[in-house]
Amino acid sequence: MLRVFKAKTREYIKEAIEFNNLQFPWKFGGFPHEPKDGQLNGFTDWRRIINEEKLQELSTEYFQKINELQPLRLERIVEHSLMSQIYRELMRYKLQNHKHTLKFDIKCFDFGVYNTENIFRVGVHLGRQRNKPLEIRHFNQNINGHDFLCVWRKRPFVTDKATLSLFIDVSFKTQGTIMLLNQKKEIIYQNDQNNQEFHCMRLESEIMNCNFISAKNEQSNLRDMKRMDDNLHIIDVDHYLKGNNYINYIE
């Protein structure tokens, strides 16, 4: 009996260590302090794009689809390469290793915006996987009194779209339970549900767009750009993709 108990204990420790080493778009245990390195450089008013209610909706849907093992249904709110990483890690851990399942039952609160930046891109897509074959150049430019980071295809086509985007970096606290379940739905690991953790996510909102010719001719005032509605995506969570830049697509 003692030998069996020791064997089970070793297996429990082994699986708990694997949980701590799990690669996933979520920093287990959180950050030691609130992430707030940044500046509100974007001239676009982020308050018109997000609020506490919207952030609650995003975080709730994010964890709901993960718990349901349906990360591909996050396409409406999660950028494609991040969504693919979520799916890959869930399936790898569920199918290839020990048929384990992650379950999140946490509450997110105390949201705060600590960094914003406007991006003016031409021929470069929000879905990073579509940028893989492109040659992209970055440069700073002042347009109509505002500083932009410009991200352009090296040789734009006349059919390319010019898009004005806003990066929004958000910090928040969480409290609740994260569990690792085995094939029998037994709890292998569970965090301390009383602990509050610091986390962060990067959002991208596409605000306006037009065709490249209009942008090239009227760049001084962007007057030909048309406003885009309800276009907000989670780009990165807890720096898992190091900000998920346009050309940092991961296979």
The per-residue pLDDT for range 23-42, each reduced to its tens digit, is 788 988 889 888 877 888 88
Residue 250 lies in a domain: no
- Helix, strand or coil, per DSSP, at residue 201: strand
Strands (DSSP E) found in 158-196: 161-181, 187-190
Cα–Cα distance, 211 to 111 (Å, whole number): 35
Burial of residue 138, with CB atoms counted within 10 A of its CB: 0-12 exposed, 13-18 middle, 19 or more buried:
middle
Note down the domain range covering 208. 2-26+38-237
**98 located within any domain:** yes
Cα atoms found within 13 Å of the Cα of residue 206, Cβ hemisphere only: 21
Task: Using 70 as the pLDDT threshold, list the residues of the chain that sit under it.
Answer: 1-22, 94-98, 213-226, 230, 248-251
Cα separation, 136 vs 214, whole angstroms? 20
Is residue 177, in this structure, part of any structural domain at all?
yes
The helix (run of H) or strand (run of E) holding residue 54 is helix 52-67
- The reported pLDDT for the residue numbered 200 is 96
Residue 44 forms part of a structural domain? yes
The count of structural domains within the chain is 1
Give domain status of residue 247, yes or no: no
Q: Are strands 161-181 and 101-122 parallel, antiparallel or unpaired?
A: antiparallel
Return the percentage of the chain with pLDDT > 70, whole number. Answer: 81
The CA-atom distances, in angstroms, between 141 and each of 42, 152, 165, 195, 241 are: 13, 12, 15, 44, 26
Distance CA 53, CA 232 (A): 14
Does 251 reside within a domain? Answer: no
Neighbours of 200 (CB within 10 A): 22
The reply to whether 232 falls in a domain is: yes
* Cβ atoms of 227 and 210 closer than 8 Å: no
How confident is the model at residue 102, as a pLDDT? 85
Asked if 27 and 171 touch (Cβ cutoff 8 Å), the reply is: no
Residue 248 in domain: no
- Beta strands 226-227; 187-190: pairing state: unpaired
pLDDT score at 15 = 45
